[in-house]
Structure 1
Amino acid sequence: MMKRWRFPLFGLLLALMTGGGVFHLTAARQEQALRLSASQRSALIAETLRVAIERFRAVPDLAAHAGEITGLLEAPGEAALRLANEFLERAARNTALSALYVLNAKGLALAASNWREPASFVGHDYAFRPYFTETIEKGSGRYFGVGVTTGVPGYFLASAIRKGTETLGVTVAKIDFAPLEASWASAGEQVAVLDADGVVFLTSHPAWRYRPLRAIPALRIAAVEGERRYADVKLGPSILTEDADSGLVLAEPVPGTPWTLVLLAADDLARRQAFDAAAMATLGVIVLLLLGLISRMHVARLLADRAARQVLEARVIERTGALRIALEQVEAEVAERARIDVELHKTRDGLVQAAKLAAMGQAFAGLAHEVNQPLTALRTYLASTRALLEQGDAARASGNITVMAGAVDRLAGLTDDLKRLARRSDDRREVVDVSAVAGEILRLLKFRLGDSGVTATLDALAPVPVLAVPGRLEQVIMTLLLNAIDAVREAPECLIRVEVSVREGRADLAVIDAGPGVEGGQVGRLFEPFFTTKEVGQGLGLGLAIAYSIIVDHGGALAYERLDGQTCFRASLPLAAGKTA
C-alpha cells in the first residue's frame, strides 16, 4: 500500500518545494527591482525639491541690494514706500514667488509684494519668526511654516540688508510648494517631506499633512505647536504604526535642508508576480510528473501485452488492435497536454513581458527630446537586424550592431555631460580651458540649436586657461548661448558665433548673434536683477545679472556691444598665472 503511494507523494513534495523556491527567488528579485526603482524615484524627487528651492536662493540677496529697498530703509517716506512696494510686487510677479517683503531691524514689515491685498504683510510684526532671528544673527535664514497672516504654508528665504556693519533690515521671499505637491499627486506617487522633528509638511496626500510619519514623544509635539511652526494647527496621529504593513518605505535627505523625503512604494504587485511565478513552476512540475506517470503506465501496459501474446497467440491480432487504439488515445492526451503546456508558457512569458514594459514606461517617461533621435535610430536598426538575421545575412547584421553600439555610446556621452553639468559646484577654483568649456556647452546644446533652426560656430584659440570654478564658468557660457538662441529665433539669419581668444593679456570670450539687439535706453539696465526684455513668464530677469556677478567675482568684466548690426556679449577674465600668451 505504501509503495503504491510513494511516487504521487514524492511528486507532490517536489512540486511544492519547486513552487516555494521559485516564489522566494522571484519575490527577492522583485523586491530588489522595486527598491532600486523607488530609490531612483526618491532621489529624483529630492533633487527636484532642492532645485525648486535653489531657483530662488539668490532672490532675497539681490532684492536686498536694490536701490528701492535700501532707499526705503535709509530715507523712509511715502514716495520711498510706494517705490519699494511696486518693486517688490513686480519682482514677485516676475519670479513667480508667493510673496516678497521687507522687515526693518525690529521685525516690522515695512513693504510687501501683496501691499494692495487685504491680507497684506505690511504693518505686521514678524520678529518672533525663526527666519528673522537667524538672519539677524547669521546674515541669512530659512524656515518652513504656515503664514500667521494669510494661513498659507510656504518656505521662507531671508537675507540681511546691511550698510557696513549695521543691519538695516531683512528681505524675505516666500515660496509656494503647492504646484510641486500637485505634480506628485498627479504622478500617483506616495511622497511626504518631513521636518527635523519627523512631522509631514509637504505631501502628495493632503490627509498626511501636519502629522508625524511615526509616533514621536509628546514633548517634541508640544515644542512644535508652541513654536507656531504650523500656525494654530494641532498635529494629528502618526501615519505609520508598528503593526501596519506599509510596503516599502525609502527615506532620502533633501540636500541643503534638515528635511527628509519619504517615498512609500506598495509591494502588492511584486507579491502577485511571485505567486504567479510559483504557481506556474508548480504546475510545470505537476505536468512533467503526469507525463512521467503516463509513460510509466504505457511501458507497463506494453510489458503486459507482450506477456499476453506469449500465452495467447491466438488472440494476438485482436489484442494488437486494442493496444493500438489505447496508444492513440494516450498519444492524443500527451499531445493535448503538451499543447496546454506551450500555451501556459506563452501566457507566462506575456505576463512577464507586460510587467517589464510597464516598468520601463515608468522609468523612461521623463526622458527629454535629446534622446529621441538616437532611440529612433536604434529602433530602425533593430528591425533591420532582425530581418537580416532571418535572411541569414550575418555580415550586414553585424554592421548594424556596430552602428547601434555607436548610438548607445552617444546616449551615454550625453547623459554624462548632463550629470556633470547639473552637479552642484563646490566653489573650488581650478585651471579651466575656456575653449574646451565653450565646445562642451555647444555640443550639449546641439539638439536645442537644431530644434530652433540655429547655426552655431566656435572660433577658439586652444587652450585659453583661466583660474575659475568650472560650474560657474559653464553657467555663464550656457546663459549667454541660451539668450543668443532666443534672440535669433525670429531673425532673418539664425546665426551664432562663439569666439575664444587672448586679448591684451586676458582671456576673451565673445558670443555674437544676428539678433535685433537691445534698445538704447535699455542697455544700461541689462545687468540689473529682474530686468528682462522678454515677455512675462518667459524669463526671471536674473540670468545676465548672475552671469555678470560670476564674471566680476572672478576678477573679470562682462559687457554688451553692438558691432556691424550684430549683438555681442564679451566676457574678459584674467589668464591663469604663468599662462599669459
Structure 2
Amino acid sequence: MLQRPTMPGYAAPQDLIRRVRRTWFLFFVVAIVIIAAALAGAEFYGRRSAIEALESQGRTDANLKVALLTAVLERPRALPLLLSEDQQVLDALSSANSQAIEILNRKLERLVTGTQAAVLYVVRPDGIAVSASNWREPLSFVGNDYNFRDYFRRAMEQGTAEQFALGSVSKRPGLFISRRVGSAVAPLGVVVVKMEFDRLETDWQSASRPVYVTDNHGVVLITSIPSWRFMTSGAIPQQDLASIRSSLQFGDAPLAPLPIKNPAILNPGASIVSAVLPGSGEAKYLRLLAAVPTTPWQLEYLVPIETPVASAVQTARLTALAFLLPVLAIAAFLLRRRQVSVMRIATEQAMREELERRVVERTEDLSRARDRLQAEISDHRDTEAKLQVVQQELVQANRLAILGQVAAGVAHEINQPVATIRAYADNARVFLERKQTDPVEENLGAIAALTERIGTITEELKAFARKGRVAPEPVDLRGVIEGAIVLLRSRFSGQLNALDAQLPPPGLFVMGNRIRLEQILINLLQNALEALGDRSDARVEITVTETSDEAAIAISDNGPGIPPAILDSLFTPFHTSKEQGLGLGLVISKDIVADYGGRIEVSSSDRGTCFTVYLLKAKT
C-alpha cells in the first residue's frame, strides 16, 4: 500500500489517497469475481469432461457385456428346434410308452450335461411334463403341470416362445425357451430348455460395478447384486401387474422399486442417478442403458462418478488458478507502478506549491527547506535505485535456485544408467583386448539402449518439473522388476548375491509407465543395498502380493534401519542422510506412484527396513 510522504509541512492530497484506496478496493473485488467465475467454469468443465469420459468408457463396457449376454443366449436356442424334430421325442409324446419315455429321459440327461443348460424337459399338450433331464432328482419336473406357464401356452399357439421366470419347482430364476412339437393343427407337445445365468452374474460381480438386465416391464431379471433381483426400475401398470401375479412368473416377489432415484437425463440412454448399494450409503452413478438384441430386454450399467468427477474438478480448478494468479499478480504490479508514478507526480507538484508559498512568507526558511528537501529526494532516488538492483538480484537468485533443483533431479535420475554405461564400456574394452567381438556388440547395443533411456529419463523429469503426468497404461510388473535389476547389476555386481527377488508370474499387469516404475524400484533397491554395505549376512528381498484391485511390491532389507528423526521427514525434498545424496529419490518416487493412483509405505526398526509400493492393477 502506498504511504504519504512525511516531509515537514507537507500533507499528500486526501482525494489522491482516497482514489488510490478505492482503486485497490475495486481491483481486489474484480480479482475475487474473476477467480470465483474461473473456479465455477473450471468446475463445470471438469465435471462435464469427466462425465463424458466415464460415459465413453462405460458404453464400451456395457456393449461388451451385451455382446457376452447375447452370445450366452444364442447357445441354447437351437436345442428346442432340434429336439422338436427328434424321433425319440416324437415317439415319447405319440406313444406314451414307458420304455420310450425312459430312453428320452436318458437322452435329455446326456444333452443337458453337454450343453450347459439347466434343465431340458418335454410337456404333453395338456401341460403335464412326461420327460425331463432331472428325472432322477427328488425335485424332478416329470409329472408337473405347466399349463399355467406363458411360455407353454404361447408355444402351443405360436410355435415358439421365451419367458424369464422363477422355477415353480426349483425356485431358481432362468430363461425358459420352448418350441411346439408337431403341427399347429395336431400338436404333440412342447420341448422346453431352461437356462440359468449364475456364471454370468458371478463374472459381473467381480467387476465391482452394478449391472443388471430388465424386461419390458422394468423387472430386474439378471443382476450382479442378488438382492435387486425381481425389483423394478419403474411403476408397473396395474393390469400388467395382475397378469404377472397370476402367471407366477416371479413367484411371490414383492416387485419393489429399485433404490435408484432422481434421474438427471444427459442424453438418450444416459442419466445421472442416486443409488443405494447394499452395504454402502447413497452415492451418485452414471446409468447407461443398452438394448439386448433378439430380446425385449435392456441392460442397465451403473458407473460411480463422485470420485472421478471430484478429481477432474480439482484438477481443472488448480489449472485455472495456475493461469489466473500470475496474470493477476502482473496486473497488480502494473497498477502499483502506475500509482507510484501518479503519486510521485502529485508529490512533486505539491512540493513546488509549498515552496512557492514559503517563498512569499519566509524566503530564508524556504531556501533551507528546499535544500533539505532536495537532499531527501536524492536519498529517495538512490534508495529506489538500490531497491531495483536488489529486486533484480532476487529474481536472478530465484531463477538459479529453480535451475539447480532441475539439474539436481536430472543428475540423480540418470546416475544409474550412466554408471551402467560405464560398466558396459569397461567390459567392452576387456572383450576387445580378448578379441571377442560378439560380447562387444552386445555391450554396445546395451549402451545405445541406455543412452536412449537417459533421454527418456530427461524428458520424464521435465514432465515432473511441470507437474505433468504420463498417461498410465498396463505394464507387466515382472518386466519392470527385471529391468530395474538389470540397471543395478553393473554398479552392485558384488552385492547382488544378497538380492532375493521373488518375481510375480507373467501376466500381472499394473497401471503406470515402465520407465517411471523402474525408477522407483531402482531408487529403493539402491538405498537398500547401500544401507547394507559390506555385511556378510546382507539380504534384500523383493516380494509381490496382490488383491483384487492392487499389487504390492515389498523391498525389505536386514540393515540397521532408519532413525526415527530421519523417518519422519523421509519424503521431504533435499533431506538425506547420505554424504553425496541429494534427497530427491524418495520424493520423486512418491510423486510417480501418486500420479498412477498408488502409494508408498515404509516401516523400519533396528532389524531392517521395508518399503512397500502399492499400484493399481490393470483391468482385464
| Structure-2-length-normalised TM-score | 0.51
Q: Secondary structure at the match of 1:249?
A: strand
Quote the residue 1:353 is aligned against. Answer: 471
What does 1:318-357 align with in structure 2 at a 5 Å threshold?
A: 321=386, 323-329=388-394, 331-332=396-397, 346=464, 350=468, 353-354=471-472, 357=473
Quote the residue 1:11 is aligned against. Answer: 31
Q: After TM superposition, give the deviation of residue 163 of structure 1 in Å.
A: 6.0
Change over 3 Å in CA distance of 1:283–1:55 after alignment to 2: same
Deviations 1:140-194 (A, max 9, x none): 1111000001101110111111169421111100001111111111122321211
Deviations 1:461-502 (A, max 9, x none): xxxxxxxxxxxxxxxxxxxxxxxxxxxxxxxxxxxxxxxxxx
Quote the residue 1:270 is aligned against. Answer: 309
Measure the CA separation in 1 of the matches of 2:341 and 2:395: 13
Q: After TM superposition, give the deviation of residue 102 of structure 1 in Å.
A: 0.6
Quote the residue 2:285 is aligned against. Answer: 247
Q: After TM superposition, give the deviation of residue 261 of structure 1 in Å.
A: 1.4
The answer on whether the counterparts of 1:46 and 1:254 sit within 8 Å (CA) in structure 2 is yes
The answer on whether the counterparts of 2:148 and 2:247 sit within 8 Å (CA) in structure 1 is no
The answer on whether the counterparts of 2:156 and 2:184 sit within 8 Å (CA) in structure 1 is no
2:326 paired with 1:287: yes
Quote the residue 2:131 is aligned against. Answer: 111
Measure the CA separation in 2 of the matches of 1:266 and 1:348: 30
Q: After TM superposition, give the deviation of residue 326 of structure 1 in Å.
A: 4.3
The answer on whether the counterparts of 2:157 and 2:184 sit within 8 Å (CA) in structure 1 is no
Change over 3 Å in CA distance of 1:2–1:313 after alignment to 2: closer
Change over 3 Å in CA distance of 1:74–1:349 after alignment to 2: farther
The answer on whether the counterparts of 1:211 and 1:239 sit within 8 Å (CA) in structure 2 is no
What does 1:328-407 align with in structure 2 at a 5 Å threshold?
A: 328-329=393-394, 331-332=396-397, 346=464, 350=468, 353-354=471-472, 357=473
Measure the CA separation in 2 of the matches of 1:191 and 1:219: 28
Q: In percent, how many aligned pairs have the same letter?
A: 27
Measure the CA separation in 2 of the matches of 1:305 and 1:331: 28
Structure 1 residues without counterparts, runs of 5 or longer: 359-378, 380-581
Q: After TM superposition, give the deviation of residue 20 of structure 1 in Å.
A: 2.4
Change over 3 Å in CA distance of 1:326–1:251 after alignment to 2: closer
Quote the residue 1:449 is aligned against. Answer: none
Change over 3 Å in CA distance of 1:236–1:314 after alignment to 2: closer
Measure the CA separation in 1 of the matches of 2:374 and 2:394: 21
| Structure-1-length-normalised TM-score | 0.54
Change over 3 Å in CA distance of 1:158–1:338 after alignment to 2: farther
Q: Secondary structure at the match of 2:138?
A: coil
Measure the CA separation in 1 of the matches of 2:375 and 2:462: 44
Measure the CA separation in 1 of the matches of 2:377 and 2:104: 119
Q: Secondary structure at the match of 1:173?
A: strand
Change over 3 Å in CA distance of 1:324–1:279 after alignment to 2: same
Deviations 1:82-105 (A, max 9, x none): 110110000110101101111111
Q: Looking at CA atoms only, which structure, 1 or 2, has the larger radius of gyration?
A: 2
CA RMSD of aligned residues (A): 3.9
What does 1:176-575 align with in structure 2 at a 5 Å threshold?
A: 176-242=196-262, 245=274, 246-268=284-306, 269-294=308-333, 321=386, 323-329=388-394, 331-332=396-397, 346=464, 350=468, 353-354=471-472, 357=473
Change over 3 Å in CA distance of 1:338–1:5 after alignment to 2: farther
2:59 paired with 1:59: no
Measure the CA separation in 1 of the matches of 2:388 and 2:201: 75
Q: Secondary structure at the match of 1:247?
A: strand
Q: Secondary structure at the match of 2:261?
A: coil
The answer on whether the counterparts of 2:218 and 2:233 sit within 8 Å (CA) in structure 1 is yes
The count of corresponding residues between Structure 1 and Structure 2 is: 358
Measure the CA separation in 2 of the matches of 1:17 and 1:309: 49
Q: After TM superposition, give the deviation of residue 208 of structure 1 in Å.
A: 1.2
Quote the residue 1:70 is aligned against. Answer: 90
Measure the CA separation in 2 of the matches of 1:272 and 1:36: 18
Q: Looking at both structures, which has the greater relative contact order when contacts are Cα pairs under 8 Å and sequence separation is at least 6?
A: 1
